[in-house]
Amino acid sequence: MLLEDLSRHIQEVRHSDWTRLALEDLCLDSLFLSVRLNDGSSGAAMNYDLEGVPDLTPAQIDHTRARLLEIRENDPLLWDYLHTRDSQSLAHQALWVAVLSALSAPILTNAGRLQELGLQSQTGRIALRHFQDQGVGKVAIIGFGGYLEEALAQDWLEKVSCCDFLALNEDFQRYNPYPFKIKQDAQKRGLQVVYDDGRNASALLDEADLICLSASTLCNGSLEALLPPEERIVILEGPSAGVLPGPLFELGVTHLVHNPIDIDFVQLCHRFSRQNRQGLQKISSGRFIDILLPEQRTISRLNTP
């Protein structure tokens, strides 16, 4: 399993201070589940349970948080708990990814340590135009957001495909018309654009020269199935991508774009949660994550073009 491979890799990299590490706090009441470790490092991951199960009550969320904090007494990083897989919920996956993200954070911001691991980091999200002279004509994107807007603005691409389970949902189109407006604008310029709800994802991925995957695929367990068997340019991008990428690169990912967390994101999530529960804030902190964590960095193997 991919998360187990990532866990082994990250534990090996952090073996020197492993016994001193512990989970200090976590917030489950947010679209992006967040954790903070006792070394000050934070991690976050998309929590599909919160979005997909709207009848979850604050009492249920608080009960789960209290239970996890109790487990922490004998399992400081919830490491054994995460690996027992006693829960099949997507929140369990999100918690696992968030912990791995927090454990990875100090390494991802340390150029020397990255170089020791054969990795390099550059400021910002790698631009699609970077690949213009590398034979890229067709781009496939998994998930609205991310690279979609940038891809549709390119005048050198032949085709852009986007797969999202909401792509054909009329209610979503009324609620969020922007992805559909930029699609129409790109088509007027002559770009071939396909929005798909996932039923044709396999064919669209097979024909693509460059694939942009939402890092939330780590949280819902779909990433491995989306990776192409042949060598491609594959970018894994998003707030859930803050993990040491060794096993991901072995599977075919070529670039990892993550959002460094340089604030106490857990504390901010708790504040949003309190406001939301009082009826003063009707949107979760997850909606603001690009504002709270605006910086992005791109990780790749050394000497990757």
| pLDDT tens digits for range 50-104 | 765 667 788 988 999 999 999 999 999 999 999 986 556 888 999 999 999 999 9
What percentage of the chain exceeds 70 in pLDDT? 95
CATH number of the domain encompassing residue 8: 3.30.390
Give the mean pLDDT of 236-240.
95
Q: How far apart are CA 250 and CA 281, in angstroms?
A: 42
Q: How far apart are CA 33 and CA 144, in angstroms?
A: 20
Find the Cα–Cα–Cα–Cα dihedral 34, 150, 294, 270, rounded to 10°: -30
pLDDT digits (tens, 9 = 90+) for 10-41: 999 999 999 999 999 999 988 899 999 999 99
Between strands 23-27 and 159-163, the pairing is: unpaired
Q: How far apart are CA 275 and CA 176, in angstroms?
A: 24
Task: Let me know if residue 96 belongs to a domain.
Answer: yes
Mark whether 140 and 171 lie in a shared domain.
yes
Task: Let me know if residue 298 belongs to a domain.
Answer: no
Half-sphere CA count of 8, side-chain side, radius 13 A: 6
Q: How far apart are CA 238 and CA 152, in angstroms?
A: 18
Predicted pLDDT at 280: 72
Predicted pLDDT at 176: 86
Mark whether 180 and 113 lie in a shared domain.
no
What percentage of the chain exceeds 90 in pLDDT? 72
Find all residues with CB under 8 Å of 159, minimum gap 6, and list them. 137, 138, 139, 191, 192, 193, 194
Q: Which domain holds residue 64?
A: 2-117+260-292
Give the mean pLDDT of 244-259.
96
- Number of structural domains in the chain: 2
Q: How far apart are CA 163 and CA 175, in angstroms?
A: 18
Q: Among the listed ranges 110-119, 121-130, 280-289, which one has the minimum average pLDDT value?
A: 280-289
For all residues of the chain together, what is the average pLDDT?
91
Mark whether 247 and 274 lie in a shared domain.
no
**Residue 72: how many other CB atoms lie within 10 Å:** 17
Helices 2-13 + 90-108 axis angle, to 10: 30
Burial of 120 (0-12, 13-18, 19+ CB in 10 A): middle
Give the mean pLDDT of 143-167.
92
Inter-residue contact 299 to 248 (CB < 8 Å): no
pLDDT digits (tens, 9 = 90+) for 101-118: 999 999 999 999 999 999
Task: Let me know if residue 270 belongs to a domain.
Answer: yes
Residue 194 in this model has a pLDDT that exceeds 90? yes
Mark whether 141 and 95 lie in a shared domain.
no
Mark whether 130 and 250 lie in a shared domain.
yes
Residue 126 in this model has a pLDDT that exceeds 90? yes
Q: What b/e sequence results for 81-95 when a residue is b if at least 16 CB atoms lie within 10 Å of its CB, and e otherwise?
A: bbeeeeeeebbbbbb
Task: Let me know if residue 180 belongs to a domain.
Answer: yes
